[in-house]
Amino acid sequence: MRLRPLVMAAAVTTALVVSPAQAAPAGRVLGYVANNGGGVSVIDTATNAVSTTIADGGGNSPYMAAVAFDGTRGYVTSSLQNTLLVIDTPTNTVDKAVPVGNRPAGVAVAPGGGFVYVTNYLGGTVSVVDTATLAVTATVAVGENPDGVVVTRDGSAVYVTHDVTGAGKVSVIDTTSNAVATTIDVGSAATAIAASSDGTRMYVVNKLSNSVSAIDVASRAVVGSASVGITPHGIALTPDGTRAYVTNSQSDTVSVVDLTTLTELQQIGVGDRPIGVAVTPDGASAYVTNFDSNTVSVISTASNSVTTSVAVGQRPVGIAINFVPPAASKLVAGTAQLQLRLLGFTVRGVNATLTDKHTGAPVAGQQVVFRTVKGNPLCTATTNASGKATCDAQVPLLVGVSTLLQGFTASYAGNNEHGGSSAHGYIRLL
């Protein structure tokens, strides 16, 4: 029987010159876990801890999850509201809810991020969403219970699975005409689907056949199948294309499948009722959602063993993992006061305010460095709860009044969560 959640869900930094000793902010690799009980848990894969939980716009139980190609947007289908939630991933905020079809389930992003394809499980259709306008530009009739979806590497076709008992099928949509070009026979109750990194094959999970079908993209024909555990549900491939990790929801295991020989190598015990699975970009780990355990199991792909378990929201289902760049920051510098001393100058109230550029929220606890426009050091301060950094500077006479009256530069180097930024402030005579 198909898992039927009440609501289903799928998800410019200012450049700063830093000294050679400083590394540029690297961003983060984040896992987005859609919880059937509500909200999207965000796992920082560096620490395997939930860093935040994204509210799903009033709905409870997001289902599938996908992250756009460039990592700056995530897309989550919300079945109760029949919408596609658009998430700004650097800030993990919901920007918009796009109306789609009846009970949206799966979601896939085209190469380059131009379009998002959403399967509408009870509508028998696929919604095509233009990511520039965040509006549905086409609705494609595909047939009963469309579920999993993936776009070919060249963006020319969209493969859609159908969660129906008996002889299963995959519909292939031509993206030029937005019409079904052909259908491919697979196993019973086809659910998840994944594409090989080289674009030559599609792998389809057949839930009631306990198998995975391999489809040759060029011929659009099934070229083999692999037996897996009981009631498989999700699939993820390693980046090198050698293995697939398939969740077996009734076996409480994950099958490791050799994609060259299409044979099951082993089964790994995980949590209760595993559903979704995603592999990190470096291929080192597979993350598995355990619906009845409210956890995510982390598997080392080197040892094929569970290394840790992460508590997430209630009834986790969909998961996607992607590199997410730092959020853009904004630094606004204020005005300081110049006071002449016997052997130099005091610049009082040198200040700047650091905020998130997308949300406008203050960024606290970050170091801001202040210098003259010629690079002479002034002072350094840490932003407070309001995002404001303030300090007084003692400046030698050698710097000169003319230099100081040209103002100051405030600089924030950035970190993995927020990119660097800089701003010009003013210095006035008392």
Q: By the 8 A CB rule, do 34 and 316 touch?
A: yes
Q: How far is Cα 83 from Cα 66, in angstroms, rounded to an integer?
A: 14
> pLDDT (tens digit, 9 = 90+) per residue, 215-251?
999 999 999 999 999 999 999 999 999 999 999 999 9
What is the pTM (predicted TM-score) of this model?
A: 0.89
> pLDDT (tens digit, 9 = 90+) per residue, 295-306?
999 999 999 999
Q: What is the mean pLDDT of the chain?
A: 91
CA atoms within 13 A on the CB side of 240: 8
- Domains in the chain (CATH in brackets) are 28-324 (2.130.10.10), 329-429 (2.60.40)
426 pLDDT more than 90: yes
Say which residues have a Cβ less than 8 Å from residue 123's Cβ, sequence separation at least 6: 101, 102, 103
How many of the other CB atoms lie within 10 Å of CB of 55? 12
In the 8-state DSSP scheme, what is residue 114?
A: S
99 pLDDT more than 90: yes
Q: By the 8 A CB rule, do 71 and 87 touch?
A: no
In the 8-state DSSP scheme, what is residue 24?
A: P
Q: How far is Cα 394 from Cα 404, in angstroms, rounded to an integer?
A: 12
Q: What share of the chain is helix, strand, coil (3-state, %, to 5)?
A: 0, 55, 45
Kindly report which listed range (13-17, 96-100, 116-120, 300-304) carries the lowest average pLDDT score.
13-17
Q: By the 8 A CB rule, do 125 and 109 touch?
A: no
> pLDDT (tens digit, 9 = 90+) per residue, 267-285?
999 999 999 999 999 999 9
pLDDT above 70 covers a percentage of the chain that reads 92
Among the listed residues 243, 356, 353, 262, the one whose alpha carbon sits nearest the alpha carbon of residue 301: 243
Q: By the 8 A CB rule, do 37 and 60 touch?
A: yes
Residues forming beta bridges with residue 213, ordered by sequence position? 204, 225
Q: Please, which pLDDT band fits residue 63 given cuts at 50, 70 and 90?
A: low
Q: Is the model more confident about 290 or about 68?
A: 290
Strand, helix or coil for residue 401: helix
The secondary structure of 306-370 as a DSSP string is EEEEEE-SSSEEEEEEEEEPPBPEEEEE-EEEEEE-SSEEEEEEEEEEEEETTT--B--S-EEEE
The number of residues in the chain equals 430
pLDDT above 90 covers a percentage of the chain that reads 85
> pLDDT (tens digit, 9 = 90+) per residue, 72-95?
999 988 888 899 999 999 999 999
Say which residues have a Cβ less than 8 Å from residue 210's Cβ, sequence separation at least 6: 227, 228, 229, 230, 231, 232
> pLDDT (tens digit, 9 = 90+) per residue, 142-194?
999 999 999 999 999 999 999 999 989 999 999 999 999 999 999 999 999 99
Burial zone of 12 (CB within 10 Å; 0-12 exposed, 13-18 middle, 19+ buried): exposed
What is the token pair recorded at 243? 């293995």
Q: How far is Cα 172 from Cα 145, in angstroms, rounded to an integer?
A: 15
Q: Please, which pLDDT band fits residue 323 given cuts at 50, 70 and 90?
A: very high
Q: How far is Cα 114 from Cα 120, in angstroms, rounded to an integer?
A: 20
Burial zone of 266 (CB within 10 Å; 0-12 exposed, 13-18 middle, 19+ buried): exposed
